[in-house]
Structure 1
């Protein structure tokens, strides 16, 4: 059966992250391929929608493009001050493109496969079926709108194909995290929170959700401190940064003589 796939990536990613799963482009594409083989589906195109400016999706657009996925970057907000989030922006783009394909290329496919659990797609699913096409909806178990469950909902799909993340205890990485943040702060004028999280993820070889959990733990224990730092080069005039609490015994034990260097650096920043 000739099938076109539409993926509401942020909806799926958010649902799985909340359940302790790590979703990467490679894992998602492998799961879709296995599912297609099992159900004798011929995938003629995959369209995936997300705000790729999100740091959690850093470099994922390239990874998807390398697997012949048609990505659609839908920004949630721009970088200018006093701008509001564009709610449901990806939903609107997906629905418009799906309807365009439905109307102009109906002879090229037999089925739509929608990866989402968002009830906003219920009118689209009804429209596809009204045009005589098959439509199946696949979402994260427990996060699927009740109205979508009548459309071939395959509950448990992700739990079957994806592996849970290894149980993560943030305290096991905290000392290395202190060293990484300290080295960044000694080498740069200041370290924005985004840069800090990316560095921790790369050097600790942890996923974005794990790094966020590590940072939350460090902030709770007052090992890290969070500030808004003024930067006139940015449109919004400020950015969020993490500092090490140089009075914390654990920070002092890990860094030793480097504490004094960091104190001088913090003074220069006016913090």
Structure 2
């Protein structure tokens, strides 16, 4: 399992992903799930993946090869003129990989994967998409300004309650860390390190990016502070009163 979030802000886009790919008592593995491409002044693209690791690595590998080899550059995510067309190309590539793996008669769902895609191409606004295993996709909007893939349920409540499109990147990272911390504490299959990328509208270069480890001082402050804040808020709520019993 995994957990990834892509979020639209008025200032641009912010992305965060965990790195855990396998979790067991004696077998914990990690892999990078966030990938970026850029042509300064023209386009910035970020993708995060969840699902079958072999599928997602094959998709990223094919997309990356098509940005480098001249004979495979049509179509390429670095040449198509819109984020919508990039989403279509990613969706077709994802479907192609899944169907190729399922040709041996195995259930295609075993090779399923989901992708978050976001970025901006010069002349258009920043856009954010969620791409399904079937190759189709949906786009973020004012009514649905963020997408989650993987283990989404534990981290969603804080996003729904605290998200504000006016927040800056620093506040957005803080919100995402609370969301990820809630998920990590609830599900062993999601874990640190966490990768993040920010993209500022109309800059056409990748913004701040980094990795947060389990000994990061700010992460520990957020994790411990959020737990204490929840306990204080719970303690301030009035106790439940049982109805009076009648004889």
Q: Same fold (TM over 0.5)?
A: no
Larger radius of gyration: 1
* Higher RCO, 1 vs 2 (CA within 8 Å, ≥6 residues apart): 2
Output the TM-score relative to the length of structure 1.
Answer: 0.28
Q: Pick the structure with more helix per residue.
A: 1
